[in-house]
Structure 1
Amino acid sequence: MKRTFLQNLLLSILAVAGIAAAAFIAYFITAFTGGMLFYGPLVLVIAAGLALLSVISIFGLFSGRVRRIMLSSFAGLCLLAAAGYEIRQAYINSLAQVNEQEVNLTQYAPFAADTKAADLGHKASYQLTENLLRLDGATALYPLYSAFAQAVYPQDDYLPYVQKEGTDFVVCTSTSEAYKRLITGEADIIFAAAPSMAQTKQAKRAGVELKLTPIGREAFVFFVNKRNPVSSLTTEQIKDIYSGSLTNWSEVGGKKAPIRAFQRSEDSGSQTRLQKIMEDRQLMAPPKENVADVMSGIISLTASYRNYNNALGFSFLFYASQMNASDEIKLLAIDGVPPSKESIRSGNYPFTTEFYAVTAGSTNPNVEPFLDWILSPEGQELVEKTGYTPVK
């Protein structure tokens, strides 16, 4: 029996409501499984398409053959879109990445079995038995101050990630968070690059004076995909690239391809160093990536370095060559000088920089004796053994 228009309308409403309910559940699942960026919108498109095809079918619009062609074409387009997305993601994930969050710091933890932390080979002349200092710092410097702790702290389990108060003696929260913890008194000493202007202002607002004690030297390096024919840049070219006035690799002797110049998050040690190199030049906006957050929705963050053929990135030598080493990345010479321990020691490498043990008025009586020991031959030996260049 042929249905009336009102019956078709009612069936259409029920069908669309059922599809909408199923789509809501599917979208909720994709949001919590990390698919909000692509599969969330795809779910909505599929739901809208199915709802439209359902209404067409209920009202008997077009012939059955045409409706089947429409359904199969729509399904094919959705599958092609999903396949294209997965292929693209597989390619991106295959690229080497320089991202501090990717490094497992537990392999450098003091006293851990098979730790990579450097060892003196004998008992240090200075030992801490009480009033242990709370240490924090940059990811790239964790292996160093972990080695300091291993030399002078009593043997125990010191986890690199903050678990709870009273267990945070040798942790690593990264440069920006470490400065915050130092300023608020949650850390006694942090190991990091010099503070950014924002971090200096934050300390002044809190009535805290930051004291920087140089304990070693390091090279600030730039790197590209190993297949990039460019092997050297000048200081001025670096400034031009990161100010946005030099945009193509062909302008510096490479292939014709736009330069994808990655940056780091604000207040990270390496981003602060880049800002100092730029001096009064305005940094261009960094490449961004969208990240899905269930509570905040889609948020845009500074993209981590991905080793595209046209990529340019930066970090510190030890981190880029040892902690996050990749044979797919090539370190660039600057002004014709390659980054190495020899060029750091001689001062010939233009972007040689000191790193610091930073304090902010801690009342712990062991602060100064510990700093003195770091600058002693034993402490400087650990700087050398870790892979950095001593200041003494």
Structure 2
Amino acid sequence: MERSLLARIMDFLVLAAFLGIAGFLAFFFTALSGGDRFYWWLIAVITVAAVLFVGIGIFAKVRERLLFKTAIGLLIASGLTVAGYEGFQYYEASIPVVSEQDFDLQAYKPFREGTKAKALERPASLSLKRDLPRLDGATALYPLYAAFAQAVYPKSDYDLYYSEVMANTTPDAYQNLIDGKVDIIFAAGPSDEQLEAAKEKGVELKLTPIGREAFVFFVNAANPVKGLTTEQIRDVYAGRITDWAEVGGKPGPIRAFQRPKNSGSQTMLEKIMGSEPPMPAPEEDIATGMGGIISKTADYKNYENAIGYSFLYFATEMVQNGNIRLLEIDGVMPDKDAIRNRTYPFAAEFYAVTAGSDNPNVGRFLEWIVSAEGQSLVEKTGYIPIADGK
């Protein structure tokens, strides 16, 4: 005897509520554990499909055999979807990444046994025993100012994040300097936002040039494009040039990576762009400890259609990724000779930046850095001494 419509509705509501609660719990715990958004949506789709499946089974006159086959088909489709997603994730993970995690800064710590930080051939003319200037700076410049500290500071274990010789990246270093937590930072010139932050705090930033470096663009080594013009760089990062075929490459969309806001390299890109801001950067979702999702600027991932940028020393000495190739700019390859003679268009000074510290040794230390001894460490490390860049 066929059950009444009311009874079937009640059965559907009970089962739908059960499936909805189960789906919500699965969704919640997946999100809480930091699971990929893909699985969030998969759980939601499966939950909705299950509810629809139950509804069809209760209200429509469908053979049980057909329902069983449909359920098996849905399970197989879900399994294939997961397999395809995980396969793509594995492929993505196999593509080399250029980021600040590609190397170990510990290898450049001053006084560490076997340190990569360069050393003078004889003791430095300056030796500081107390009132050590607190140092911070850009990741790519840590090998240089670690060498300065090794030459002048007393032997000690200088922690990378909690000592007189730290490496907190350009944005954090500028903030630490503005807040008075450090005395000198080593970085590219400040961004407009960093200058404004200093002004609001009543702090005047003083930039002492200590060397020169090239700002470089790089692509996958398999990319046939050997170089771009300055105007083409601007057009790529403004979104006007979007396909490699437009600049002599193989047809395919250009994936233009960027660096985080207020980093030294991002500030350099913005200076190249002039009054025109770069287009929005590729982002990636990062799961936080409580399962939330934040978005951050994606690190350069070496797809065959990718383009990225950094500074020459970072890209060639610290990362040493053989899968990327530097681009010529306006027909000039970025190398030390081109930096010295200023034929490479994106060569610029980097600085020791101060903000009115009352530490009596800040001035002495800066004078030593621009002396022949300090500048010899600039050259030994792999940068161009400021005297050679004049």
Say whether residues 1:259 and 2:251 are aligned partners.
no
Which residue, out of 209, 218, 221, partners 2:216? 221
Report if the CA contact (8 A) 1:37-1:292 is conserved: no
Superposition map of 1:352-391 within 5 A: 352-391=347-386
Residue 140 of structure 1 corresponds to 140
Say whether residues 1:350 and 2:350 are aligned partners.
no
**Farther-moved stretch of structure 1 (55-64 vs 312-321):** 55-64
Alpha carbons of structure 1 residues 61 and 367: separation in structure 2 relative to 1, 3 Å? farther
Say whether residues 1:284 and 2:274 are aligned partners.
no
Report if the CA contact (8 A) 2:224-2:249 is conserved: yes
Q: What secondary structure sits across from 1:38 in the alignment? A: helix
How far has the Cα of 1:15 moved from its partner? 3.9
Residue 50 of structure 2 corresponds to 50
Q: What secondary structure sits across from 1:201 in the alignment? A: helix
How far has the Cα of 1:367 moved from its partner? 0.5
Say whether residues 1:67 and 2:57 are aligned partners.
no
- 1: distance between equivalents of 2:31 and 2:359? 47
Which residue, out of 216, 221, 238, partners 2:233? 238
- 1: distance between equivalents of 2:346 and 2:300? 20
Residue 111 of structure 2 corresponds to 111
Report if the CA contact (8 A) 2:216-2:326 is conserved: yes
Equivalenced residues, count = 387
Residue 97 of structure 1 corresponds to 97
Say whether residues 1:176 and 2:174 are aligned partners.
no
Alpha carbons of structure 1 residues 315 and 273: separation in structure 2 relative to 1, 3 Å? same
How far has the Cα of 1:156 moved from its partner? 1.9
- 2: distance between equivalents of 1:44 and 1:294? 22
How far has the Cα of 1:54 moved from its partner? 4.2
Residue 204 of structure 1 corresponds to 199
Q: What secondary structure sits across from 1:224 in the alignment? A: strand
Unaligned runs of 5+ in 2: none
Letter of the 2:108 counterpart? Y
- 2: distance between equivalents of 1:363 and 1:58? 81
Q: What secondary structure sits across from 2:250 in the alignment? A: coil
Report if the CA contact (8 A) 1:136-1:171 is conserved: yes
Q: Deviations over 1:69-101 (max 9, x none)?
A: 121111122112212211222222222222224
Unaligned runs of 5+ in 1: 162-166
Residue 322 of structure 1 corresponds to 317
How far has the Cα of 1:341 moved from its partner? 1.4
How far has the Cα of 1:174 moved from its partner? 1.0
Report if the CA contact (8 A) 1:110-1:117 is conserved: yes
Which residue, out of 266, 274, 284, partners 1:271? 266
- 2: distance between equivalents of 1:59 and 1:123? 90
How far has the Cα of 1:267 moved from its partner? 0.9
How far has the Cα of 1:102 moved from its partner? 4.1
Residue 159 of structure 2 corresponds to 159
How far has the Cα of 1:178 moved from its partner? 1.0
Residue 164 of structure 1 corresponds to none
The Cα RMSD (Å) is 2.3
- 1: distance between equivalents of 2:67 and 2:179? 66
- 1: distance between equivalents of 2:33 and 2:151? 43
Letter of the 1:350 counterpart? P
Q: TM-score, normalised by structure 1?
A: 0.91
Q: What secondary structure sits across from 2:147 in the alignment? A: helix
- 2: distance between equivalents of 1:358 and 1:174? 14
Alpha carbons of structure 1 residues 49 and 371: separation in structure 2 relative to 1, 3 Å? same
- 2: distance between equivalents of 1:111 and 1:51? 66
